[in-house]
Structure 1
């Protein structure tokens, strides 16, 4: 699994397309694509816009514990799919939303916190983690 993050409009998608030249099943929250379909069409899967998908994910859960447990279970299912074939790779792109003003509304704070936890869990489980700023990557892991 490969996690790519960085600021909005900093070239994350362009960078991923440049380094992964194989056929890709690209799913984008920004385009209204689903992220949890049970089958994928290619060996390389890109899930772009994790922070956007997390809005619906958080809305369906009752508390932080349930959000985090459900997220970890989802990550485990992705890792299981990836491990079934050595050519499979999951790349998850998420925009960094942790900088700036903390939202006043409880729902938005919950979403922001859940995204931060999701990114921490993803970074811990990912084989590779890159931060993209201004089109340049910094490999963290």
Structure 2
């Protein structure tokens, strides 16, 4: 039964690219990535490690990091759930919970988590988190 649900869910997910409401396959990941870029830049400015690495390797900050994800991407996730439920009712005349959760996760959470980590790494590499210290008058006088 589980295997059948997984197969049906995957086939329905792939089939949704060209069907009604296909715009959400672009809009929802784009919105999630927007929030991820914003959060990733903030992580780099605060010299925090990339999101997924910190979440996996540091259990003490896992709860706080999970809360940040739901703060940033929660609305997009709920919108993905609602749009997919509407799609399923019109196309399949019912709601399949596993497909609903899978689609919302793939369209909202996965792009957010992956993009946030990449943005943090690139921004840190580019020097976003480094502070530039300007020389003071005392420094100039000691050099003479």
TM-score of the superposition, structure 1-length normalised? 0.28
Whichever structure has more strand as a proportion of its residues is 1
**Which of these two proteins has the greater Rg computed from alpha carbons?**
2
Larger fraction in helix: 2
